[in-house]
Structure 1
């Protein structure tokens, strides 16, 4: 099977793929505190799994490549708890822009960003917008929870707590499915002081409070309802949703590109 991994190809192979109209996916994640019970690589474990599963499946239908997952994001709101690596928002914007510029210089005209950490989201969208303004290319950007909201609802994912939340029952279930050996759920407790205002607005809105952007003590809800089986179901639902989005996105870009060529 032909590799869908950007980094397994030579420069000549990548030049050819750019000429053939491949879409390149830049997957974004983070290394940051996830309460006393989850590894700091939680978002990266989830993000890499989802990106790999979804792109492997999408590659059966459309020409697509996955860049190496970026494991450090914009996580300044976690710094005070320790165990966090972070770019400032300004640095992160510049870094994502430079990655996009590198792909454009390499000849790629279709670039999609796939995100697994909330703090990255607004900067990711801005980067995609800036690149499309500056260059005659197609860009797209999305976070996995936005793409899978309906599928996760069907799986009754909020049975374990806030979705996606931060280091609560949802993410704990996902890490149990991926790396159960790294989970210390008992340290998260059976009860947690939840903040009703977190995610209280409709999609696309923001509300936050100093020192508590991710909940009391740096996490949103207790992990006591998390299970490996639930995590497996949630991850499968996310992967299905992301696969469908990637295929639709490529097809929209390709169709639009062909229309532009005809008009010229």
Structure 2
């Protein structure tokens, strides 16, 4: 995993031989997971790799919960995403929409060639969501394998809501949700509490969503400097490692259920 030694997990594609990968791929109901992250600013208190670190950790946590009977592998994370709305703050690396789409399509298509029955993209950055949805269709139309996609923080939102202390808008970019997860998984990369400065999400349109748990029904493009001076949106001051542990437990359990369902459907 990105926060550990490559090849340390049983589901880690990068640490296996080509022969071992093909054996897993050719098993009945095999599933390949592709974590998709980003390198972008997360205020002054979180590293720019936050989205990549978190999605990779969630995916590997979910595969452990899915059980040894599920033939599943996880590719190395796609470490950069579509993040033009963060560029003004610096520290951000972004691909063009078409370039990232081509990367995801190529990864999926070449992986399918090993014999996988299903490929699921697991996204960890809001700016990638529409693109991942599109790739599900562009890859799916050309293969008999089942192609799926999800964004991990869209899973089990009602249960995660029971963990929060912030009001609506507090679990947005670099807010209570992501900061708590980072405090649980990589506290060494989180700045001290006095540097956790965020602004509650305040979208002009009521249909535009409130935070990671409430994406809204209306898509709106705005650069992030129109929402926050620090680059963080939400309430990172309310984050804690205990909340992060609970959020991690909830979302990995839910994603594990998705993985098992995909496996069973494709047997």
> TM class, shorter-chain normalised?
0.7 to 0.9
Match of 1:176 among 158, 171, 183: 183
Q: What is the TM-score with the length of structure 1 in the denominator?
A: 0.86
The separation in 1 between residues aligned to 2:83 and 2:138, in whole angstroms, is 22
Question: Which residue, 192, 199, 222 being the options, matches 1:210?
Answer: 222
Question: Partner of 2:217: helix, strand, or coil?
Answer: coil
Contact 2:22 2:115 in 1 (8 A): yes
Larger Rg: 1
CA distance in 2: counterparts of 1:104 and 1:220, whole angstroms: 38
Name the SS of the counterpart of 2:91 in structure 1: coil
Extract unaligned runs of 5+ from structure 1: 255-264
Q: How many Å separate the matches in 2 of 1:6 and 1:62?
A: 15
> TM-score, normalising length from structure 2?
0.85
- Aligned-CA RMSD value: 2.4
Distance 1:237 1:62 in 2: 20
Contact 1:4 1:66 in 2 (8 A): yes
Match of 1:235 in 2: 248
- Take 1:242 and 1:163, find their aligned partners in 2: how far apart are those partners? 23
Pick aligned residue for 2:266 from 250, 253, 262: 253
CA distance in 2, matches of 1:162, 1:251: 37
Structure 2 unaligned runs (5+)? 1-7
Mapped partners of 2:248, 2:42: distance in 1: 18
Once residues 253 and 157 of structure 1 are traced to their aligned partners in structure 2, the CA distance between those partners, rounded to angstroms, is: 36
CA–CA distance in structure 2, aligned partners of residues 111 and 194 of structure 1: 33
SS of equivalent residue, structure 2 residue 266:
helix
Counterpart position of 1:11: 18
CA displacement at 1:16 relative to structure 2: 2.5
Partner of 1:260: none
**Pair 1:63–1:122, CA change in 2 (3 A):** same
Using the TM superposition, give the Cα deviation of residue 116 of structure 1 relative to its aligned residue in structure 2, in angstroms.
0.8
